[in-house]
């Protein structure tokens, strides 16, 4: 994703320490004030609780596939965002071969009755992989159509018996500088972290992917285990997961920590809410044979999955909770 460009600062523009300290004090006081608690999504305020809704089986199924032209395997596996292996789109496919994906285990803990560390086979035991053809819309403005194989995240999470305090689920990617050359650069405060509200995590569309195009996930796409949340911007779909935690409070996420005004917790695809530095109204669909000249098409609310997911956000101000 495009990093904020640092402006040149003249020495006359540099804030004196005293002014800086005063400002910090004022900000701290504002954040602590109960009256101003709802001021911003980034001030530590919690969103309203989700409405109790369920997606009908027919609605859910309608979201499992699309007849749209699929992105070529070479593009799905050659044009990637995986900053642990570099910030260029071709870096992950070149560098990620060093990621050892077996043996692999995942720690699951927090607000649940049965926490534990499970090897990948045990984590997925008895769950048959399903195929889902999803649109993936990156916050940068490009999108793909990808046939994934994986299991519903809900089926895996239920094994750990989340309790009533489990309001969110936090995910963490491996951060090993020996296997991941990008970790040497502080482009992100590693490890990469993401999170979902519990109802989003349990939603039938949310997939824990283990493969694509009928083959095991390549390292650059997040082997051996990644999230796919098709109605949210692509950065929510965290790769190479090593930890899952049930939490009571909204967990911090890697992109929000870096630029809170640009990357919210929810990050639902929304053409009506622009990124502060670019429009989100259209997207460049990378599908078929031409990537460079791919056509721009209108971006749809919730990436076209509104029938399946919009009810989870009923009554919520989507400009505030972006």
Residue 47's CB is within 10 A of a number of other CB atoms, namely 17
192 binds ligand MTE (CB under 6 A): yes
Of residues 55 and 101, the one with the C-beta less far from ligand MTE: 101
Question: By rule CB under 6 A, what count of residues binds ligand MTE?
Answer: 17
CA-wise closest residue to 201 among 144, 252, 246, 161: 246
Burial of 266 (C-beta count, 10 Å sphere; 0-12/13-18/19+): buried
- Confirm or reject binding of residue 104 to ligand MTE (CB under 6 A): no
Q: Which stretch binds ligand MTE (CB under 6 A): 22-30, 81-89, 124-132, 150-158?
A: 81-89
Site map (CB under 6 A) of ligand MTE, residues 27-66, x = contact: ----------------------------------------
CB nearer ligand MTE, residue 155 or residue 176: 176
Q: What is d(CA 59, CA 13) in angstroms, rounded to the nearest whole number?
A: 56
What is the sign, positive or negative, of the torsion defined by CA atoms of 222, 223, 224, 229?
A: positive
Which CB sits closer to ligand MTE, 96 or 112? Answer: 96
If one asks whether residue 275 binds ligand MTE (CB under 6 A), the answer comes out as: no
Closest C-alpha among 173, 41, 158 to residue 104:
173
Q: Which is nearer to ligand MTE, 157 or 183 (CB)?
A: 183
Query: Contact between 93 and ligand MTE (CB under 6 A)?
Result: no
Main-chain dihedrals φ then ψ at residue 301, nearest 5 degrees: -55, 140
Closest to ligand MTE by CB, 258 or 310: 258
Task: Report the candidate in 55, 10, 4, 46 with the shortest Cα–Cα distance to residue 275.
Answer: 4
Q: How many CA atoms lie within 13 A of 6 on its CB side?
A: 3
Question: Which residue number, 239 or 245, has a Cβ lying nearer to ligand MTE?
Answer: 239
Sign (positive or negative) of CA dihedral 301, 303, 306, 310: negative
Least spacing, CB of residue 161 vs ligand MTE, in Å: 27
Rounded to 10 degrees, the C-alpha dihedral 31/34/37/42 comes to 30
Point out the residue whose Cβ comes nearest to ligand MTE. Answer: 234
- Decide if residue 83 touches ligand MTE (CB under 6 A): yes
Find the shortest distance in angstroms from Cβ 291 to ligand MTE: 13
3-state SS class at 315:
coil
Give alpha helix (H) positions in 241-309.
Answer: 254-258, 306-309
Q: 8 or 178, CB closer to ligand MTE? A: 178
Site for ligand MTE in 125-184 (CB under 6 A): 136, 138, 173
C-beta of 6: minimal distance to ligand MTE in Å?
A: 21
Q: Does residue 230 interact with ligand MTE by CB under 6 A? A: no
Which one of 237, 268, 280, 303 is in contact with ligand MTE (CB under 6 A)? 237
80 binding ligand MTE? (CB under 6 A): yes
Does residue 95 bind ligand MTE (CB under 6 A)? no
Q: Does 267 bind ligand MTE (CB under 6 A)?
A: no
Whether residue 176 contacts residue 84, with contact meaning beta carbons closer than 8 Å, is answered with: no
First to last CA, the chain: 17
Q: What is the CA radius of gyration of the chain?
A: 20
Contact positions vs ligand MTE (CB under 6 A):
1, 80-84, 136, 138, 173, 192, 221, 234-235, 237-240
């Amino acid at each position: 994703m495009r990093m904020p460009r640092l402006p040149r600062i003249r020495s006359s523009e540099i804030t004196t320490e005293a002014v800086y300290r005063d400002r910090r004090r004022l900000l701290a006081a504002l954040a602590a004030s109960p009256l101003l608690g709802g001021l911003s999504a980034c001030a530590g305020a919690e969103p309203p609780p989700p409405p109790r809704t369920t997606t009908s089986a027919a609605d859910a199924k309608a979201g499992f596939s699309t007849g749209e032209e699929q992105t070529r395997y070479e593009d799905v596996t050659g044009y990637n965002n995986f900053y642990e292996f570099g910030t260029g789109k071709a870096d992950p496919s070149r560098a990620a071969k060093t990621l050892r994906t077996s043996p692999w285990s995942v720690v699951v803990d927090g607000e649940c009755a049965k926490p534990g560390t499970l090897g990948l086979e045990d984590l997925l035991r008895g769950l048959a992989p399903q195929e889902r053809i999803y649109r993936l819309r990156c916050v940068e403005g490009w999108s793909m159509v990808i046939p994934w194989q994986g299991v519903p995240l809900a089926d895996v999470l239920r094994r750990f018996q989340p309790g009533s305090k489990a309001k969110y689920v936090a995910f963490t990617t491996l951060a090993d500088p020996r296997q991941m050359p990008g970790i040497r650069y502080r482009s992100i405060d590693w490890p990469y972290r993401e999170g979902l509200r519990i109802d989003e995590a349990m939603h039938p569309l949310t997939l824990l992917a283990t493969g694509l195009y009928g083959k095991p996930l390549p390292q650059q796409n997040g082997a051996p285990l990644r999230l796919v949340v098709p109605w949210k911007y692509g950065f929510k779909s965290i790769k190479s997961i090593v930890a899952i935690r049930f939490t009571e409070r909204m967990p911090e996420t890697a992109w929000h920590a870096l630029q809170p005004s640009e990357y919210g917790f929810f990050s639902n695809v929304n053409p009506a809410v622009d990124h502060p530095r670019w429009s989100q109204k259209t997207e460049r669909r990378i599908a078929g044979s031409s990537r460079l000249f791919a056509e721009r098409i209108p971006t749809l609310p919730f990436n076209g999955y509104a029938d399946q997911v919009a009810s989870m956000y009923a009554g919520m101000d989507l400009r505030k909770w972006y």
